Structure 1
Amino acid sequence: MKFYNQKVVCRVRAERQKGLSIKILGKKFKISHSTISRWVRDMPSKFKAFNSARKHEKNLKLNYSNLIDKFLIDKDTAKILASLLYWCEGSKYPSSNFLAFSNSDHLLVKTFIGLLRKGFKLDESKLRAHLQLHTTHDIRAMTKFWGALLGIKENQFHKPTITVPTNRMKRRDYKGTCTIKYFDVKLLLNITGIFESFGKKKWRGGRVA
């Protein structure tokens, strides 16, 4: 993913307020249309096509949202879902002998820790969190944010890693990257066994056999 300086984002948004289309903005700043669209998505537009596309996008998201409302997650389901998420974003055995799940999407990290707690009996004292932040972040505020979100005490956070963002780096509402650690090799192996078994399932007609 390519990152952009805050000044570039502000310039694009300022030009958008003048009525320039996403296509024109993309050509002017030599930035992809998808990136421009993401930066100005919250802004009102006079372009009917853009407004129509935004409405269509919202409707598409809502089409299957009722599935989640009806989706009941029991303990076994939570184990499977947590394991699949860990398969995607977690450190693997034997390179690691403890759980380490890392992502900058705070909702994804919250979902993982929620499923992990529901599916497995955790010893909360074995939980740790580590943040990777920029020099532009308020360390105290970000620690409080992640701690409240994940239900982890501030004294269970390791000293954060602080990096200097380059002039090309820009992610709106970036709250740092959080790594959840749980020091229990047995649980790591349990989770590994679940996602490995799931991966070996044969798919027939779109269903797991």
Structure 2
Amino acid sequence: MTPEDAATPRERARALRRQGRTYAEIVAEVGVAKSTVSRWVRDLPRPSTPPERLRRMSEARWARHRRDVALRRTRTRAEAAAQVGRLSERELLLVGAGLYWAEGAKSKPYRTQEQIQFVNSDPGMIRVFLAWLALLGVGKDRLQLRLMIHETADVAGALEYWAALVGVDATAFSKTTLKKHNPKTVRKNVGAEYRGCLVVGVRGGAEIYRRVEGWWCGIVWGAEAAQEGELSE
């Protein structure tokens, strides 16, 4: 018979509490009610929970919830994507015009600069923009490509990535713009997924820019007309 076997339930409970066990753990091991355990060990200091144990407890508590949220997110995203389907040429025209007016370079009242230049780090945005340019008859020979990236990143790897996405050789890119490293800044955009921003310009894009202005005005007018139609019904 071991000393543990010879100890009374109360003595065992107190010993376990001194080891830092919780009430639930003591109840499971000693086999008495939680209220009894509380009475037996109430004079002992409350054990501190190690950070790692707290982390495991939190993870166990929230793991199922995170899985459920992730499943709902994936399902909703798939259902929404299925609603879109294949875009017609008119739909792509309107989507591209709106995308450019939100993210592309625009003339200012104090500086007329009718050019097409689009800067983004999202591969999906770049793909849509390139598809839109192709719809407008812009060939790859008219593209002006440049990489903007932090100097501490994998510049060569990022260049190859964007070149493959566009479907051109990396030599088609102009000189890369490097962002200087600031030791005081805590960067979040690190890791293999960080590939900087791709700058896409179009040679001789003034006419396209003017059309984008017109398309955007038409989109705004169409949206307002639709809203007024709904209000009048």
Shift of 1:205: 7.7
Residue in structure 2 matched with residue 191 of structure 1 by the alignment: 212
Hey, what's the Cα distance between the residues in 2 that align with 1:144 and 1:56? 35
Structure 1 unaligned regions, length at least 5:
1-14, 23-43
Residue in structure 1 matched with residue 92 of structure 2 by the alignment: 78
- CA contact under 8 A between 1:131 and 1:176: conserved in structure 2? yes
- CA contact under 8 A between 1:19 and 1:46: conserved in structure 2? no
Q: Which has the higher contact order (CA 8 A, sep 6+)?
A: 1
Residue in structure 2 matched with residue 170 of structure 1 by the alignment: 188
Q: Deviations over 1:116-141 (max 9, x none)?
A: 21x21114322111111112223222
- 1:131 partner SS: strand
- 1:19 aligns to 2:56 (yes or no): yes
What is the aligned-residue identity percentage? 19
Structure 1 length normalisation: TM-score? 0.69
Q: Deviations over 1:13-38 (max 9, x none)?
A: xx7xx53748xxxxxxxxxxxxxxxx
- Higher share in helix: 2
- 1:19 partner SS: helix
Partner letter of residue 112 of structure 1? F
- CA contact under 8 A between 1:147 and 1:153: conserved in structure 2? yes
The higher radius of gyration belongs to: 2
2:200 counterpart (180, 190, 194): 180
The number of residue pairs the alignment matches comes to 168
- CA contact under 8 A between 2:154 and 2:195: conserved in structure 1? no
Residue in structure 1 matched with residue 101 of structure 2 by the alignment: 87
Q: Aligned in 2, Cα 1:165/1:115: closer, same or farther, shift over 3 Å?
A: same
Structure 2 length normalisation: TM-score? 0.63
- 1:72 partner SS: coil
Q: Aligned in 2, Cα 1:206/1:158: closer, same or farther, shift over 3 Å?
A: farther
Shift of 1:156: 2.6
- 1:204 partner SS: helix
Partner letter of residue 71 of structure 2? K
Shift of 1:98: 1.4
